[in-house]
Structure 1
Amino acid sequence: MELVFATNNLNKLKEVKAQLPESIKILSLAEIGCTIDIPETSNTIEGNALQKAMFIKEKFGYDCFADDTGLEVDVLNGAPGVYSARYAGEQKDANDNMHKLLENLKGSSNRKGRFKTVISLFINNEVYSFTGICNGTITSKKSGSKGFGYDPIFMPEGYDLTFAEMDLKLKNQIGHRGKAVQQLIIYLKTQS
């Protein structure tokens, strides 16, 4: 089985490829000749994932899947949420985003939040959706050098490590994207 993963984020590509069985071959956007930034104009995580998957299917004809992820912080009414990648501006800089989030949480005792990933799969002219959630807390400072995005300041529930301090295997096992990918794999195995 061959599917396109509609992302330009090489870190996401690496995480997802590490989970998939060899029977599922993933093509990157570069491999299908897609060099443009796929629009993400929805005001929901679900909407953005679906928009990206449909874009690839319509423009390139491949069965594909796409994800969107947001970090939802309780005390900020779910922000940054769907705007997580652009929280500190259109430059999509992870350090700027983390700095802004830590500033906005200064003095707050409630640092609970969750990562939410939604994967939209467009296959055989049908659309399926898979959601993974990982609850945790926002730390007061960065810790760890692995991972990407908000990983250095997110500590999943039940652990005393941030995602940026975990190896990829553990992060995929307990993390939001990993949980969504596990559901995707279970579904794809029924199709092969």
Structure 2
Amino acid sequence: MLNIRDSPENTRRSKKHRIPRNPFEEVKVENAVLLRVHVGDAKVNAMNDVVLIKEYMRFHVVLWLRPGDEYKTDVAECKTPFPDGPHPKWNSEFTLRLKDPWECDSLYVEVIWDGAYSNPGTSSCTGIAGRVQVPLPGKLGKRKGGRYILDKFVGRGETRTGTGAEAEAISENKYKSRGYITLSMELCPLFTRNGRDEYYYTRRAHN
């Protein structure tokens, strides 16, 4: 008599869904990856629109792949003096999941100025100190990183092309370099144990 557990239909279903009998068996999740991001530090150039005479300045980083799904670092405090601009440090790590390895092509990063204060508890103003758009690694298991220039939108201006009567003014956004941020990232394949989401973890692609 054919046992229902050994029937061809049940065997095909088991192979299709790849549900392991051993709870410690590793199963790769197809078409899903994790982006591991490490945010190191930043150097913010002296800002003409901010008075740098306070005892402290505070900064944090916001990063995202999709609008509305942001990740934030803790606030880093910088004490004076900083003649060349503040140098906040975070050393934070994030893990961002992508359902499709190629659904996003860039990581968006903003360094947020949380204000300056001369006495603890007295804050003033917030704003974007600088931002950068970093392309993701081109393949799984590849790590990329370094210092990326922070830009800030400073308004719109005109660029003239041509000469004489044929000259044409083109309106465009103007940006100014505001320093740099140090970060690294890696796309990792995704594995699971026993088909349960809470057991997702990463492993290098070449393992």
- Is the structural similarity TM-score above 0.5? no
Which has the larger share of helix?
1
Which has the larger share of strand?
2
Output the TM-score relative to the length of structure 2. 0.32
Q: Which gives a bigger RCO, structure 1 or 2 (Cα 8 Å, sep 6+)? A: 2
Output the TM-score relative to the length of structure 1. 0.34
